[in-house]
Each structure stands twice: as structure tokens, then as C-alpha cells.
Amino acid sequence: MTRDLLLIGIGTGNPDHVTRAGIRAMRAADLILIPRKGADKADLADLRHQICAAALEGADTRIAEFDLPVRDASGEYRAGVDDWHDAIARAWSEAIDRHGAGARTVALLIWGDPSLYDSSLRIAARLPGLNVRVVPGITALQALTAAHAIAINEIGAPFTVTTGRRLRDTGWPPGVDTVAVMLDGACAFQSLDPDGIDIWWGAYLGMAEELLVSGPLADRSAEILSIREEARANHGWIMDIYLLRRRG
């Protein structure tokens, strides 16, 4: 039996971020798989369950959890990521086999959008026999700029979206004055000369726990580090993103 695999963007944790198309897709699915990432990140599975509860009232969609493999960060980065994606693909396949009897449409709920700094499409490509469809969602980048009520670009100007790893290793991207930074667990903005740079930072965007800081990087760097450390300790996890812009 050929199955449809729906990758549904669900925004940044606020049930109101799920589009009507996303809700229709969830209700049309026979099975929704929810990953477990360990006890310290149980909130993430709980949030997915809350989103399902809000969207699926009266629907026959089944929900099942599965354990998500942990990435081995001890070796070379790219090889470790590839091995991790292979392991996740196996976990998806095993979960579908275990829980998907009679299910023609299986769905996974993806934070933000499956197309922006998310590997669900690359993982799905490892699984033959699935007809993959994507339902777009609100990205963390959109949630950040909305929360701060700012435009991401200056008039007619380009911007770059990059990762904390690349910002730390290669510095400010050439040819742009605005840089959006994702997947930064080590606060790579510390590696920059802060003079003349403004930052707009946000964590838990769209959630009740939302945290926002903005201003000159030189003045806000230590504050962000302190707030971030405390929030991670309180919740056991953190999702954050920030925008940097050179003045003038």
C-alpha cells in the first residue's frame, strides 16, 4: 500500500499558528506520529498533543508517540548529522509499521515550516514508497519579526539567513547588513565585534513563555545570555532565534 506522508508546519508552538490548511490536513490523516525527545523535553510532545486536541475534535485521526534518536555530536558534524537522519528515518518507518495498520495517510507535525532549517524533507526522502506532501507553516523567522514589529529587510536590501555555527566559524556574511541566525545553541553573536550592531532576539515565540530582547548588541548580549540560561534551566529546552543588523 502506497502511503501519503504529510509534513505539516505548525508554527512555533501556539495552536493559533496552525493554518486552516494544516487543520484540514491533520483531520484528514489516519495517523499522526508525535516524537518523544526524552523527559527533559516532554513539553515539546505535550505541545503537539495540545495542538492535536485543538484541531481534531470529533475526527477519527489516531495519535501515536515514538522515541526520536539522539544525535551523536562526538565526531565530524556532517557525518554525524547524516547518521542521525538515517536513524530518524528508521524510527519513522518502524513507528509507521507499528502503529499504521490500515493507515493510508500519516502525518508529522513540524515546528515552523518543513522548508526552513528543518530536515524532515531530507529524512522523508530516505523512505521509499511514500508520497510526501507539505503543508506550510509559520516560521520562527516570521514569528520573530512579528513579535518585535519589524521588517526583516531594509528597503530594496538583501538579507541572509544562516546558522550559529556558520556565523561563529566564518563571521558576518558578505554583502548584507541584516543577518537572521537560527540553530544557535552557543550564542554565536558573542564572536562578533558588537560595535554598530543591533539585535532582536526571541525565545518560545508565540507561546505563553515568550521572551523578547532588543537593542544594541553591546548592551544586550550579557542580558540575553543570562535570560537564555535561566529559561533553559527552567524548561529543560529552549528554541530561540535572532536578527542582527548593522546600523547605517
Q: Which residues pair with 160 in a beta bridge?
A: 179
The whole-number pLDDT of residue 31 equals 97
183 Cβ contact list (under 8 Å, min separation 6) = 117, 163, 164, 165
Shared domain for 114 and 226, answered yes or no, is no
The whole-number pLDDT of residue 40 equals 66
Q: Which domain range does residue 49 map to? A: 3-138
Q: Please identify every stretch of the chain with a pLDDT value under 50, giving residue numbers as ranges.
A: none
**Strand, coil or helix: 44:** helix
Task: Name the strand (E) or helix (H) holding 139.
Answer: none
CA distances from 15 to 10, 49, 169, 197 (A): 8, 10, 36, 34
| Rounded CA separation 164/162 (Å) | 7
**Global confidence as pTM:** 0.90
The whole-number pLDDT of residue 144 equals 98
56 Cβ contact list (under 8 Å, min separation 6) = 26, 27, 63
CATH of the domain at 115: 3.40.1010.10
The whole-number pLDDT of residue 1 equals 66
78 Cβ contact list (under 8 Å, min separation 6) = none
Shared domain for 84 and 119, answered yes or no, is yes
Cβ neighbour number for residue 14 with a 10 Å cutoff: 19
Shared domain for 57 and 88, answered yes or no, is yes
The whole-number pLDDT of residue 103 equals 92
The whole-number pLDDT of residue 187 equals 97
Range 34-52 burial, b when 16+ CB lie within 10 A, else e: bbebeeeeebbbebbeebb
Shared domain for 40 and 119, answered yes or no, is yes
Report pLDDT digits (tens) over 30-74: 999 999 887 767 788 888 999 999 999 889 999 999 999 988 888
Q: Quick one: what percent of the chain has pLDDT higher than 90?
A: 83
